[in-house]
A and B are shown apart, each in its own frame.
Chain A
Amino acid sequence: MVDNILAISDLTLRYGDQTALNGISFEVPRFEIFSIIGPTQSGKSSLLRILNRTIDFNADARVSGSVLLDGEQVLTTPHVHDLRRKVGMVAPLPVGLPLSIYDNVAFAPRLAGVSKRADLDGLVESCLRQAALWDEVKDRLDQLGTRLSGGQQQRLTIARALSHTPDLLCLDEFSIAIDPVTTMRIEEVLRELKTKLTIILVTNLIQQARRLSDRTLFLWNGSIIEQGTTEAMFSDHPANSLTYDYIRGAFG
């Protein structure tokens, strides 16, 4: 029996009369990296926005189905803020809040009521270390986070996402705005993090999904074309010929 952190069944999302996700079902096993690939507009980012309920801020969005995170029903939970602390979210373009590096990372712990300086110091350091950013910023923690380089800011947002000790870390095209060297560093970080939490990786880079993930899901026009172990998906004979074509770059 596989221990699933996330179980989604028959999830449908509509924006007005447009269907963004069409009755999809899948499970994510704990302590794995789970990739979601697919062309733009296939519903990948919307799916992540459902997971931490930021979809709520889109007035047109209608969600139905079942999303169980650690046994809790995401779509109807009354504890939205607690849910959001369980899910770490990293956006495509790094969003450094207009605060210092320290305050960026200490933001969520402070919301959760941690106020002792020593506790915060320890948390900030460990998060920045986990995101492989500590050595570069340890001498200038009070500088504005928005002044870091793009790659550093992206690692800062990862550190921030780790600061509320999520069980699930979601990254939405994290490498879109950063150089290949930094991308490889972050990928290493993710491999190490896998021992402690589950990672969902939405990516346009098919090779990134292949390098990093244990399982892959191919989403197209709001429907799942194929899902399975990354090995099987990237083999010469995936179950669906569409998968083969997409992975080989025939379209998308």
Chain B
Amino acid sequence: MKPLRRSIFDRLPEILIEGVIRLCGVSAILLVFGIFFFVFREAYGLLPGGDFRLGHFLFDTHWNPASQSGPAYGTLALLAGTASVTLLSMAIAIPFGLGSAIYLSEFCVPYRRETLKVVIEILAAIPSVVWGFIGLMVMNPLIIAVTGAPIGLNILNGGLLLALMSIPIIASLGEDALKAVPDSYREAGLALGASRWQLVYRVLLPAARPGLLAAVLLGLGRAVGETMAVLMATGHSVHVPTSVLDSVRTLTATIAAELGEASVGSHHYQLLFLVGIYLLAITSAFNLAADFLVRGRRRSSR
């Protein structure tokens, strides 16, 4: 009989492959921690001593960090910019995204579904700078013509672009969530005399709620973190907006626009990294909340 224990040479490919796979897994974790570490290190100089005040950073609306006389580093106006654009985009993207998800999963004939899914994937793959270009060249004159606003680079423009970028994410993840609802639920609902629409809102939406929530929150994360399109389309004006036709500037656009001008290690440079941490905290909070909600729901339904 052959001995069970094989020589090291026989097992070499296995060991190699295992090692490579392990390396891939570990490197993903290391990269995430690396990003956290790097961003914190760049901003760290601000925190001990100096005259940095967190209250001013979080709640003041004046942002003028490069000023020699009296630098202001309040991010509230930037946060308001991010929040207003994101809110508008979600107000559009959630109904349309979930609507497409429901249509794709429940009402669409198979061959049309396959075509639509390809189109949605293409939509999701359009680079954000191309969206920004559309905002600049197409939506800008359109908004001026329709609303009579002096400038078309504003919350409305950015919100629409972000909505268009989030809809494919919400639609395709939402469709996955609805498809994951067992068919036995559909049959049970229909056997009880439900119409297809009654089936959707009385059975499928409650059953797929965790997945749909995750889809919406990922779309939201995309909208909050998006930089290029909003940089090009929202008009670059730091103030707390009072209407959707106001120009704003978001947290992300601020970093992208100013980092190139700030000298490495300067106060301005460190502040921009602090804004980065702020942004990271916001998106992480959303992701954690999504994770928590999805898991919580799943546990309670067992």
Contacts and interface: CB of A to CB of B under 8 A. Distances in A.
Interface stretch (A95-103, A128-136, A218-226): A95-103
A95 B185 contact: yes
Interface in A121-174: 144, 146-147, 157, 160-161, 163-164
Interface stretch (B6-14, B86-94, B201-209, B275-283): B201-209
Contacts of B192: 84-85, 107-108, 111, 160-161, 163-164
B187 A95 contact: yes
Interface in A53-84: 54, 57, 81-82, 84
Interface string B188-218: 1111111100100011001100000000000
A108 B193 contact: yes
A52 interface: yes
Contacts of A95: 182, 184-185, 187-188
A97 B203 CA distance: 7
B174 to A, nearest CB: 17
A97 B185 CA distance: 6
A93 interface: yes
B112 interface: no
- B interface, by DSSP: helix, strand, loop or mixed? helix
A146 B301 contact: yes
Nearest to A107: B192
A93 B184 contact: yes
Given A57-B190, A98-B185, A98-B207, A144 B301 contact: yes
Contacts of A164: 192-193
A112 interface: yes
B184 A91 contact: yes
Among A111, A147, A160, A161, find the residue whose CB has the most chain B CB atoms closer than 10 A.
Answer: A111
Interface residues of A, number: 28
A37 interface: no
B302 interface: yes
Contact of B187 (A91, A99, A146, A163): A91
Nearest to A96: B188
Given A84-B193, A111-B198, A98 B184 contact: no
Contacts of A87: 191
A99 B193 CA distance: 17
Nearest to A99: B206
Given A95-B184, A146-B301, A147-B302, A107 B191 contact: no
Contact of B191 (A82, A89, A93, A147): A89
A126 B300 CA distance: 28
A179 B169 CA distance: 45
Interface string B45-75: 0000000000000000000000000000000
Given A98-B207, A99-B206, A146-B301, A111 B193 contact: yes
A81 B193 CA distance: 5
Contacts of B191: 52, 54, 84, 87, 89, 161
Contacts of B302: 146-147
A160 B191 CA distance: 10
Contacts of A163: 192
A18 B149 CA distance: 66
Interface in B16-32: none
Contact of A54 (B182, B187, B301): B187
Contacts of A85: 192-193
A238 B188 CA distance: 37
Given A111-B198, A147-B302, A84 B188 contact: no
Nearest to B204: A98
Interface of B: 182, 184-195, 198, 202-203, 206-207, 300-302
9 contacts: A54-B190, A57-B186, A95-B182, A95-B187, A97-B203, A98-B185, A108-B193, A111-B194, A161-B192
Q: Lowest 7 A-B CB distances belong to which pairs?
A: A85-B193, A89-B191, A108-B192, A95-B188, A84-B193, A98-B207, A95-B184
